[in-house]
Amino acid sequence: MSEFKNKTIWITGASSGIGAALAQTFSAAGANIILSGRRVEALKAVKAELSTDSLILPFEVTNYENLEAHVETAWAWKGRVDILINNAGISQRSLAIHTHPQIHTDLIKIDLIAPIWLTQLQLPKMVEAGGAHIVAISSVAGRIGSPLRTAYSAAKHGLIGYMDALRTEVELRHNIKVTNILPGSVATNVSRNALTKDGSKRGKSDDNIENGDDPMDCAAAILKAVSDNVPELICAEGMELELAKMRQSEPEKLFAMAAQFGAQLADQYEAGED
């Protein structure tokens, strides 16, 4: 799409998965890409696949003291950031009853507080530039409560709430558009990297993730949603899409189904069958 030609897109969590797919998709549409994440070598590999200018800007999203300097670097590169995509995050696989409160705190810092900080630090610049577009990668788990994901669901629900509220303040007054993305199962390492009850990485995936959507298909849908200024896109299919819609249309039915599924999954988890 020619509308993205020479635009500057800043993507966090760009070293793999949806983030890497977004970098390739927006680059193919002519955009210049800022790649952020922790793994420099992985970011270099993504950069090598891009056809447009790109800048590797590595950082730890919870290192809040240094975020302002990273924002200044990003904006100085091409003179502005047209689209910010808050994609960096981590999931969870543990029952709440077994999970230390610090794990909830750590995950919420990564998945909620970090994108809020990165967004807040750029709002004055976006206003001065005459507008921008902010994209937040939430999750279907940000619409419905998912078992083994209490902290993750809390963070992703919160991210949607922050972005929805922000949109009310900045869309008409400052031409800053806001799009929430709610992916379902996408074939990434999200399950392998998920935090367990003690904060360690899970190290294995789920069948639904392994058989999930191609990240490139998800990235293409996100690009179209940004192009069309869609406030919210549920990037899911089948049962996941229906459940996300059911949260508003038939909440009591959803809660009953979720309770049964949650009990079954919790039993499997405690039996070591997850």
Does the annotation mark 269 as catalytic?
no
pLDDT digits (tens, 9 = 90+) for 92-108: 999 999 999 999 999 99
Say how far apart CA 22 and CA 33 lie, in whole Å.
10
Tens of pLDDT, residue by residue, the chain (274 residues): 589 999 999 999 999 999 999 999 999 999 999 999 999 999 999 999 999 999 999 999 999 999 999 999 999 999 999 999 999 999 999 999 999 999 999 999 999 999 999 999 999 999 999 999 999 999 999 999 989 999 999 999 999 999 999 999 999 999 999 999 999 988 787 878 889 999 988 887 777 788 778 999 999 999 999 999 999 999 998 888 998 998 889 999 989 988 998 999 888 888 875 6
Tell me, what's the pLDDT at 231?
Answer: 98
Q: Which residue among the candidates 64, 152, 162, 269 is catalytic per the annotation? A: 152
Tell me, what's the pLDDT at 274?
Answer: 61
Task: Dig out the tokens for 209 from the structure.
Answer: 């993730």
Q: Which class is 2-239 in CATH? A: alpha beta
Rounded to 5 degrees, what are φ and ψ at 107? -70, -40
Tell me, what's the pLDDT at 272?
Answer: 79
Tell me, what's the pLDDT at 273?
Answer: 58
Say how far apart CA 182 and CA 194 lie, in whole Å.
18
Say how far apart CA 181 and CA 232 lie, in whole Å.
6
